[in-house]
Amino acid sequence: MGLPKITHPIFTTKLPSSGEIVRYRPFLVKEEKILLLALSGRDSDEMSLAAKQIVNNCVIDLKHDIETLPVFDIEWLFIQIRIKSVGPDCTLVLTGLQNESCDKCQLGIKSTVDLNLVECKKEESHNPKIELTEKIGIKMKYPTVQSFNRDSANVADFLYDYIIDCIECVYDDEKIYEKHDFKKEELYDFLDNLNRDQLDKIQNFFATMPECKLDVVFKCECGNSETKTIRGLSSFFE
């Protein structure tokens, strides 16, 4: 005879990328262990891997491979799961406020935020289809956790690898060129031959895509106050 099985409530939320409805359960002690381990590492890569693992455990009947989900979808799901598991309150500390006469400012000002207020929306100008010339364009896809965890030789290569990872296809007025039909060198060469303006258009895709963020006001008893936009999981859960 086995021990009685404990059932858990099920909640739903919409994926910021597609609006698709996803079901999830709160996280349990086994997932809290994963989280504690990641938090003790204080490393944003570890945090995003832990979030991916926890989301993968807690979502029910996800139609996609977790590896293909955009980072902001995973962050959004993680925050929703955290709200239902621990509660919506999260205490953040702002350090580095320049006020030498106030000890509290120097120690860091705390602010308790309601995670229900976190938003994850794209900017209005956002478009995954980028027209480079009148005839040639790129269709982009969103970065996944994997897009950030690669062994690029240097910073410039990292930027190229990151962009290439997020290219879905290139097109002109005649056909669509699938990324996997081309060698890495050919893709590097394609990027090398863009002008500043065209590269800016690509960077604008990343700058305007959805992002989990919240404006937080930090206020000290001495009157000092500062508003900071908190973005990314590692800044919410330090």
Q: Report in angstroms how near the CB of residue 216 gets to Zn ion at its nearest.
A: 16
Report the chain's terminal Cα–Cα distance, integer Å. 42
* Tokens 């832990």 found at: 50
Structure tokens at 28: 């349990």
Among 105, 113, 118, 212, binds Zn ion (CB under 5 A): 105
Q: Report in angstroms how near the CB of residue 42 gets to Zn ion at its nearest.
A: 25
Nearer Cβ to Zn ion, position 101 or 133?
101
Which three-class secondary structure state does DSSP give residue 17? Answer: coil
| Cα–Cα distance measured from residue 92 to residue 117, given in angstroms and rounded to the nearest whole number | 14
Stretch touching Zn ion by CB under 5 A, among 64-72, 80-88, 102-110, 135-143: 102-110
The reply on whether position 106 binds Zn ion by CB under 5 A is: no
Structure tokens at 72: 């902001």
The reply on whether position 102 binds Zn ion by CB under 5 A is: yes
Binding mask 151-190 for Zn ion (x = CB under 5 A): ----------------------------------------
Q: Report in angstroms how near the CB of residue 214 gets to Zn ion at its nearest.
A: 22
| Cα–Cα distance measured from residue 34 to residue 50, given in angstroms and rounded to the nearest whole number | 6
CA nearest 18: which of 142, 165, 146? Answer: 142
Q: Report in angstroms how near the CB of residue 219 gets to Zn ion at its nearest.
A: 9
| Cα–Cα distance measured from residue 43 to residue 56, given in angstroms and rounded to the nearest whole number | 20
Question: CA distances (Å), 36 to each of 49, 52, 211, in order?
Answer: 13, 14, 24
The reply on whether position 224 binds Zn ion by CB under 5 A is: yes
Among 104, 141, 179, 231, binds Zn ion (CB under 5 A): 104
The reply on whether position 94 binds Zn ion by CB under 5 A is: no
Q: Which residues bind Zn ion (CB under 5 A)?
A: 102, 104-105, 220, 222, 224
